[in-house]
Structure 1
Amino acid sequence: MDDRLRTFYELYDRRRSVRAFENKAIEPEKIARLLNILQRAQSAANRQPWHFIVTENENREALNACLTKDGFKAAPLLITACADPKEAWVRKSDNRNYAWVDVTIALTEMIGAA
């Protein structure tokens, strides 16, 4: 097996779902790296039909009222994904809009890197 492929599999074997967060700041370089991954993520016809809203602790009061899981309220940073159907590729055969698929792909790539 190729070393890069082995590294990829090892990374995903160690993947975990985080449901509890420490309330400490995330370094700006790490945030920039995640946003770069979102910016470069794959999408149908490279349309990138998304907007991402980055919210750090000091701007969270109004947003926390909308969160349904308490664990998210303690996270030091939230990246909110917004699909833009007007910007998405639409399959002509059935008029299916791929905005949500593309946003999911972008988030999956970011989560894998995080």
Structure 2
Amino acid sequence: MEFGDLIKKRYSVRGYQSREVEEEKLEKVLDSARMAPTAVNKQPFRFIVVKTEGREDELKTIYPAEWFTEAPLVICACTVKSESWNRRDGRNYVEVDTAIAMDHLILAATELGLGTCWIAAFNVEEARKVLKVPDDVEPLLFTPLGYPNAEPRGMGRKRLSELVRYEHW
């Protein structure tokens, strides 16, 4: 699939089939995240893969939407600040690096026919408790991972002219 087609095909899936995700597909999406560029190649992130079956109630304490646990898997992207790079002005790049890795994972999933939904508005303390996240690791993002069972909703986007400014060359 052409990259331009891939990014247009991706959407926030809010409905999943119960069909299991094949191990080789899971490994491909996780490996795509591993290959993401990070500042000074520090890779200051970790992924927690959770099978949802039998854990729906506790996972819904993290994010209550019904479709969150319809997918057979939920993935949590975590930051490890102690492993990340700081710019000269002190700006830490852990969240940027982790977001890039999550985006690679999401695009790889789309290419393989899997659905995802970028989730940042979740209960951090519940995530920490349910997933037994160590103190030096911070849950940053979630996505369900599974075969879509929902159509895309309207994806309005700003015009390019609203997002880009060209300096005189």
Into which bin does the TM-score normalised by the smaller protein fall? Answer: 0.7 to 0.9
Distance (whole Å) between structure 1 residues aligned to residue 79 and residue 21 of structure 2: 25
Determine the structure 2 residue equivalent to 1:76: 72
Retained in 2: the 8 A contact 1:67–1:73? no
Retained in 1: the 8 A contact 2:33–2:103? no
Matched residue of 2:15: which SS? coil
Counterpart amino acid of 1:17?
S
C-alpha displacement of 1:68: 2.8
C-alpha displacement of 1:108: 0.7
Determine the structure 2 residue equivalent to 1:85: 81
Retained in 1: the 8 A contact 2:47–2:77? yes
Identity of aligned residues (%): 40
Retained in 1: the 8 A contact 2:52–2:69? no
Distance (whole Å) between structure 2 residues aligned to residue 17 and residue 25 of structure 1: 19
Retained in 2: the 8 A contact 1:56–1:77? yes
Ranges of 4+ aligned residues in structure 1 off by more than 6 Å: none
C-alpha displacement of 1:59: 6.0
The aligned length equals 108
Q: TM-score, normalised by structure 1?
A: 0.85
Deviations 1:14-71 (A, max 9, x none): 2222111112211111111111111111111100000100001346343332223221
Unaligned runs of 5+ in 2: 110-169
Q: Considering only aligned residues, what root-mean-square deviation do their CA atoms show, in Å?
A: 1.7
Shift in alpha-carbon separation, 1:71–1:41, aligned structure 2, 3 A:
same
